[in-house]
Amino acid sequence: MTDLNSEVSIGCHKAKNSVISLQALRLNTSMGGQKGVALAIVVWFIAGMSLLVAGIVSHARVDSQMAQLHVARAKAVAAADGAIQLMLAERLLAQLPVADEQTLLSGVYELGNTEVSVMLLPVAGLFDVNEAPQAVLASLFVMLAQVPEGEANTLAENVVNWREKSGAFREIEDLLRVGGMNRTIFEAVRDFVAVHKTGGAGAVWEVLLAALLPVADQINSGELNGLALHPEMLAGFNADEKRRGNEFSLSGSYRADALVKYGDQTWLRRRWISVGAAGGSALPWQTVRTEPPRVYERSNEVL
pLDDT tens-digit profile of 255-290? Answer: 999 999 888 889 999 999 988 766 666 788 888 899
Per-residue model confidence (pLDDT) at position 229: 46
pLDDT tens-digit series, residues 180-201: 999 999 998 988 899 876 444 4
Using DSSP, how many helices (H) and how many strands (E) does the chain show?
7, 10
Confidence grade of residue 28 (pLDDT, cut at 50, 70, 90):
low
What's the whole-number mean pLDDT along residues 25-53? Answer: 63
Return d(Cα 72, Cα 114) in angstroms, integer.
11
Cut 0.85: pTM above it: no
Rounded to 10 degrees, the C-alpha dihedral 127/129/134/140 comes to 50
- Single-letter code of the amino acid located at 54: A
Say if residues 119 and 231 touch (Cβ distance below 8 Å): yes
In this structure, how many other beta carbons lie within 10 angstroms of the beta carbon of residue 103?
13
More confident residue, 131 or 278: 131
pLDDT at 38 over 80: no
What is the spatial distance between Cα 48 and Cα 53, in angstroms, rounded to a whole number?
A: 9
247 within 8 A of 98, measured Cβ to Cβ:
yes
| pLDDT tens digits, 151-182 | 999 999 999 999 999 888 999 999 999 999 99
How far, in Å, CA of 106 to CA of 70, rounded? 28
Binning pLDDT at 50, 70 and 90, where does residue 109 land? very high
- Residue (of 108, 145, 135, 136) closest to 259 by Cα position: 108
What's the pLDDT tens digit per position in 205-225?
777 777 777 666 665 444 434
Residues pairing with 111 in the sheet: 114
- How large is the average pLDDT for residues 238-262? 69
Give 290's strand partners.
Answer: 271
DSSP 3-state of 278: coil
Q: What percentage of the chain reaches a pLDDT higher than 90?
A: 27
- Percent share of the chain, pLDDT over 70: 60
The mean predicted confidence, pLDDT, of the chain is: 75
Distances (CA, A) of 298 to 184, 264, 268, 301, 302: 19, 6, 12, 5, 7
